[in-house]
Amino acid sequence: MPRFFLCLLAALSFIAWMIMVLYNGIMFDIKMGDYLKRAADANTIELALDNLTTALRYAQFEKLTSGNTGVLWKTPARDVGFWNQNLRASYLELVRVQPEATQLEKSNILLKLRETLLDHGPDGDTVTITPEISLFPENALYFWWGWLSAVLVIVSFGVAGIRKFRNY
């Protein structure tokens, strides 16, 4: 009977981890990622500025301004500070646009913003974000929780399966 509870506890922990990772990803998209996409898709400076401002306020509120999302290795691709500074630089470019700027100047700035905010891949355009930013700053906690839960599931079900197999 204790093996059953160990299996159940390990499975529930892993399922809870998956739900939390999924939830954090969805909430990040709702509160920031979608606004970055809207800023990239905007046809006017004002619309882009409004959406980028909303995204930057969320980043500031959630302290997504510096650090690294890496757990085992702190790589440049996971540098939150660079990502945030790049967003802020784009914001400043939008703010500096003069009302009397030509349509060509405005279009060029919007094109540059789009290039900054979006990555182009085999699956189409995606918002440029630091990997695992939705879990930041608790990346290490989620990393170890996921690994520990997965190992416990494998070991507990493996041990339970071996013991059951021996009974035959």
Residue 110 CA, chain-centre distance (Å), reads 24
Digit-coded pLDDT (tens) for 125-165: 899 999 999 999 999 999 999 999 999 988 887 766 655 54
Does residue 168 carry a pLDDT above 70? no
Q: Examine residue 131 and say whether the peptide bond preceding it is cis (omega within 30 degrees of 0).
A: no
Domain that holds residue 13: 2-166
Could you tell me the sign of the dihedral formed by the alpha carbons of 85, 91, 97, 102, in that order? positive
Cβ proximity of 150 and 78 under 8 Å: no
Give 3-state DSSP helix, strand, coil % of the chain, rounded to 5.
75, 5, 20
If you average pLDDT over residues 106-114, what whole number do you get?
A: 96
Beta bridge partners of 2: none
Domain count, the chain: 1
The predicted structure's pLDDT at residue 166: 53
Residue 3 is encoded by which pair of tokens?
């093996």
Digit-coded pLDDT (tens) for 28-71: 999 999 999 999 999 999 999 999 999 999 999 999 999 999 99
